[in-house]
């Protein structure tokens, strides 16, 4: 029996939302892993569920409450708080087998251009590497693509086999 691709849920969701193709898949090589946890980023705790749910509800990446609660319980949601509120966040959406899919990175518009998306990406990469998995992600937004490249991700060539992207 063939294994399901870790990317299938994303492909299906994107088609359901009218997006026909994924622009770029990115993977990170081991030598690009951040050495330290970014100091301004914290792992979201259960007591912050309502606040992070509200944050994601205002983003382009709303989360199902039960799924978000499970991701928080597993320590897979990270965020930056400023002025007493969440201003940037991201999560690991799939972490089975040898991969962890980084998703849902969002920064409130008035807090952009401060490097928060890069810090969130670095923290998620750090978490995934601690689990001995390979971080992967994809993007539609060219600005996001530049952030991911700065974080150490590189484009997965189309002719490369996707052996590392299965669970």
Residue 160, in any domain of the structure = no
| CA-closest candidate to residue 138, choices 14, 2, 4, 3 | 14
- pLDDT-derived band at 141 (thresholds 50, 70, 90) equals confident
CATH assignment at residue 92: 3.40.630.30
Residue 162, in any domain of the structure = no
- 3 state SS for 52-72: HHHHHHCCCCCCCHHHHHHHH
Residue 18, in any domain of the structure = yes
Q: How many domains does the chain contain in total? A: 1
- pLDDT of res. 34: 73
- pLDDT of res. 66: 95
CA distance 77 to 110: 21
How large a percentage of the chain has pLDDT more than 70? 72
- pLDDT of res. 4: 45
pLDDT digits (tens, 9 = 90+) for 77-123: 999 999 999 999 999 987 667 888 899 999 999 999 999 999 999 99
Q: Which domain holds residue 92?
A: 8-155
0.85 exceeded by pTM = no
Residue 164, in any domain of the structure = no
pLDDT digits (tens, 9 = 90+) for 1-13: 334 454 555 445 4
């Amino acid at each position: 029996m063939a294994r399901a691709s870790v990317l299938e849920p994303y492909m299906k969701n994107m088609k359901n939302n009218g997006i026909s193709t994924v622009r770029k898949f990115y993977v990170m090589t081991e030598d690009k892993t951040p050495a330290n946890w970014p100091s301004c980023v914290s792992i979201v705790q259960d007591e912050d569920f309502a606040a992070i749910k509200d944050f994601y509800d205002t983003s382009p990446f709303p989360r199902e409450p039960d799924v978000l609660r499970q991701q928080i319980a597993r320590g897979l949601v990270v965020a930056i708080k400023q002025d007493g509120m969440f201003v940037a966040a991201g999560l690991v959406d799939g972490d089975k087998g040898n991969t962890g899919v980084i998703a849902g990175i969002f920064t409130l518009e008035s807090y952009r251009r401060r490097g928060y998306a890069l810090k969130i990406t670095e923290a998620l990469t750090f978490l995934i590497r601690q689990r001995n998995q390979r971080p992967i992600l994809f993007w539609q937004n060219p600005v996001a693509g530049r952030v991911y490249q700065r974080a150490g991700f590189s484009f997965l060539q189309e002719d490369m086999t996707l052996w590392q992207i299965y669970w």
